[in-house]
Structure 1
């Protein structure tokens, strides 16, 4: 059954032929109309069509974004709970247990949200899918806003159920680069240098997209591997990257690669304080990683990825359309 269900990341417009659970595109131009009748030359699409402006006025897209909102809220609540509980336990390798639990939770959440919105629940996925052209930039903006709001709600829910001492001790499970810890001569700041944290975000984001989302973006691999397999691999890769980023640094105060700006934003807004220290890294790093992955998709032979003409929302196509406005 999984092999027949082709629902994968960012595939709302193109990868579910005949499906009943995809978000219907609101643009008047479908993908097949980007090629002329002879099938030889792609026809011109306006800047508005490339950007997907009609998605802003599409009720179905906004309704799908509710799946992103709720999924992000549950994600933040669950992941931050896992972070707090594993660090508070007496286990010798809390980062290993945390990584395994994160992989399981992410896989389950993706399976729940994919039929609703495509299962992004991460600005990295939405932005990368928009750059590649699988979804429009307009839809990506809607999804990212929903993800950020959901992350804030998830952090609020967590704050409501934990004690103030746990909230202070574990920073509400948020993304941290440094923390203030007691030292021999008073409080000291411990953690990772910002340059190191930025490079980790860039590398981990690129590896995440390359090693897991790549399979979802490629129609052939997504179809051959199947829905459940692809999403399970995504969860495992994320769990491995969390484990690697926390192990390779081994620095107290560094919470590991975020790889999800919305997840880092929620606790930062609700908890505040030192969670804002270097918070920009959790946005800038993944953005650079997404752009690097997009450049990679443009370098490889087209026949090995999106076919001869690609997707109509591809970023290069958007820029070309803008130059003709």
Structure 2
């Protein structure tokens, strides 16, 4: 468990540092910035690269909502949920703290003005979207994300391609929702920057736990309802997905 938790911490660190770092450091310049597309790709690539790197150790969740969704989908034991979530949140906070230290090296950077790629609604939304809009899009996109994860790692899916599907899915999710909430679908990703930034981001953090977890639970339930039981991975699995032996 210690090795698996460490893999989750490292993977979540990479996700937050790569994804939020692209928004804070590389998208901040009007002429040289990478824009929404670049930030979306950075989040997708961070998951894809770490899924191939440490997925065989921990299953590459990097997201409390995914961990809970996999449990609901019959892929993950309840006893391992808390250690995974603790590791994920710690990795996210560490990444956000180091990212802040780096960003502070630019004299013009101001945490209150420039932020740390925090998530929000209303005043905290990049496009000024309401709480209801933010809640709905986070639920729906997390639901879809969990279905994609469960489906791409199913025993009947093409083997070895799951990280690509999952990384591209996260890229698509960001392309849709960056203007609405700055995209969470991941309570750990939201918690790290919010803890460092404080203020409004911390006040609105509740939504980015409640909505993604609700979406993940619904996604797990939906996949269990539509996927034949024989196509599911062994529910006791704790590491890399593998084929269930067939008679």
| 2:235 paired residue number | 311
Gaps of 5+ in 1: 1-60, 182-188, 314-325
Q: Relative to structure 1, is the Cα distance of residues 206 and 180 closer, same or farther in structure 2, using a 3 angstrom cutoff?
A: closer
Quick check: which has more Rg, 1 or 2?
1
Residue 191 of structure 1, CA deviation:
2.0
Q: Relative to structure 1, is the Cα distance of residues 166 and 109 closer, same or farther in structure 2, using a 3 angstrom cutoff?
A: farther
| 1:69 paired residue number | 9
- Alignment of 1:288 with 2:204, yes or no, is no
Q: Deviation string for 1:7-35 (max 9, x for gaps)? A: xxxxxxxxxxxxxxxxxxxxxxxxxxxxx
Match of 1:174 among 112, 118, 125: 118
* Structure possessing the higher relative contact order (Cα contacts under 8 Å, 6 or more residues apart): 2
Per the alignment, in what secondary structure is the counterpart of residue 116 of structure 2?
helix
Q: Deviation string for 1:244-291 (max 9, x for gaps)? A: 113xxx5xxx44330110010011112111112321111111111122
Tell me the distance in 1 between the aligned counterparts of 2:227 and 2:14: 39
| 1:273 paired residue number | 199
Q: What CA RMSD, in Å, does the superposition of the two structures yield over aligned residues?
A: 2.5
| 1:146 paired residue number | 87
| 2:155 paired residue number | 219
| 2:103 paired residue number | 162
Count of aligned residue pairs for this structure pair: 233
Tell me the distance in 2 between the aligned counterparts of 1:78 and 1:306: 32
Gaps of 5+ in 2: 238-247
CA contact (8 A) 1:194 1:278 kept: no
- Alignment of 1:101 with 2:49, yes or no, is no
Q: Relative to structure 1, is the Cα distance of residues 84 and 179 closer, same or farther in structure 2, using a 3 angstrom cutoff?
A: farther
Aligned pairs (5 A) from 1:258-269: 258-269=184-195
Tell me the distance in 2 between the aligned counterparts of 1:90 and 1:286: 31
